[in-house]
Homo-oligomer: A and B are copies of this chain.
Amino acid sequence: MHDQLIVIDGLQYSNWNRAIFKQLKDGGVTMVHATIVYHEQIRETLLRISEWNRLFEQNSDLIMPVKSAADIRTAKQLGKVGIMFGAQNCSPIEDDIGMIEVMRELNLMIMQLTYNNQSLLACGCYEAEDSGVTRFGKQAILEMNRVGMIIDMSHSGERSTLDAIEISQRPIVISHANPNSFHNAKRNKSDEVLKALGESGGLLGFSLYPFHLKNGPDCTLTEFCDMVAKTADLMGVERLGIGTDLCQNQPLSILEWMRNGRWSKQMDYGEGNKDNADWPRPLEWFKDSRDFPNLTKGLQARGFSDKEVAQIMGQNWLDFFEHSLQPS
């Protein structure tokens, strides 16, 4: 069945190269939302885009840029892996609302309003207090709505997320996180947030990052699929997708960059700690993109219908993109 599916990964941040693109293709992935920046500002974001342009040029037999929902169907048809650009922070717009449209013109399709810390737009999930969406943030959300840039609140605080769902005139996403009811973590989400997200037509991508899972790297596929089933009861199966948060081939220095950016003089260990500072051990049943068929099998075994499996594995993401990427 897996080969027939549109398979969409709602978030990866790998150290991209031809071998990784090959794994995505081997795993039957139609499209991946690729994080291009964490803390990079405008000039650095342009550098990342130029690096991607070179990757597209050198690997045009394997990958293609995704600028619309139609491009995803084209990728499936051509047997290529579609790449959609996203930012995990609002740093690519710096302090300038005009940069939202500029970045969208450069095919930045998804942007988080915050990455763990407080930003100019909202608050991250690692701050002690979350004051919600700011004055700039309110305008930025409406501008993102206007140009067709998707709002992602994966790393935001509870209140900011609820604010964004309410303020945004188009549905938003939490591209890579899990329910707190499954595993209580700063990065996971309350039932209140998930319900509001579902009711507003938004989408949740389930994370396979061990820090977001019950029992960490020892979480079983069965437990994972049970979580999916429970969340389907809460939000509706049509509101669910996958966002693996796979960070392949990345050195520890990149994890430190993600956690510390340029803001910290001390070492911040994020979801880890001093004695557990490195990348987590990967799941046995999801080591890299070649293991996507395991997810399909797991969901089938859990009793999801073929249609539901197709929805979760990518169709819901595709439907969401169908209505989210056009300027309004």
| Chain A interface size range | 20 to 34
Within the assembled complex, what's the spacing in Å between the Cα atoms of A97 and B132? 24
Do residues A41 and B95 form an inter-chain contact, with CB atoms below 8 A? yes
- Chain B residue numbers with a CB within 8 Å of A97 are 262-265
Do residues B117 and A136 form an inter-chain contact, with CB atoms below 8 A? yes
A280 in the interface (beta carbon within 8 A): no
Within the assembled complex, what's the spacing in Å between the Cα atoms of A128 and B130? 12
Interface bits A250-264 vs B (CB < 8 Å: 1, else 0): 000000000001111
- Please name the residue on chain B nearest to A136 by beta carbon: B263
Do residues A143 and B95 form an inter-chain contact, with CB atoms below 8 A? no
Do residues A95 and B39 form an inter-chain contact, with CB atoms below 8 A? yes
Partner-binding segment picked from A3-11, A118-126, A221-229:
A118-126
Do residues B262 and A98 form an inter-chain contact, with CB atoms below 8 A? yes
- Chain B residue numbers with a CB within 8 Å of A266 are 139
- Chain B residue numbers with a CB within 8 Å of A41 are 94-95
A131 in the interface (beta carbon within 8 A): yes
Given contacts A261-B95, A265-B143, contact A127 B131 (CB under 8 A): yes
Given contacts A95-B39, A263-B97, contact A120 B123 (CB under 8 A): no
Given contacts A120-B263, A261-B95, contact A132 B129 (CB under 8 A): yes
A274 in the interface (beta carbon within 8 A): no
- Chain B residue numbers with a CB within 8 Å of A94 are 41, 94, 262
- Chain B residue numbers with a CB within 8 Å of A263 are 95-97, 120, 135-136, 139
- Please name the residue on chain B nearest to A159 by beta carbon: B129
Binding site for B on A (CB under 8 A): 39, 41, 91, 94-98, 117-120, 123, 126-132, 134-136, 139, 143, 261-266, 268
Q: A41-B94, A135-B268 are in contact. List 17 more A-B contacts (CB 8 A).
A: A41-B95, A94-B94, A95-B261, A96-B262, A96-B263, A97-B262, A97-B263, A117-B134, A117-B135, A119-B120, A127-B131, A128-B132, A129-B132, A131-B131, A135-B264, A139-B263, A139-B266
24 A-B contacts (beta carbon < 8 Å): A39-B95, A41-B95, A94-B262, A95-B262, A96-B263, A97-B262, A97-B263, A98-B262, A117-B120, A117-B136, A118-B118, A118-B131, A118-B136, A119-B120, A120-B263, A123-B131, A128-B131, A128-B132, A129-B131, A131-B131, A135-B264, A139-B263, A139-B266, A143-B265
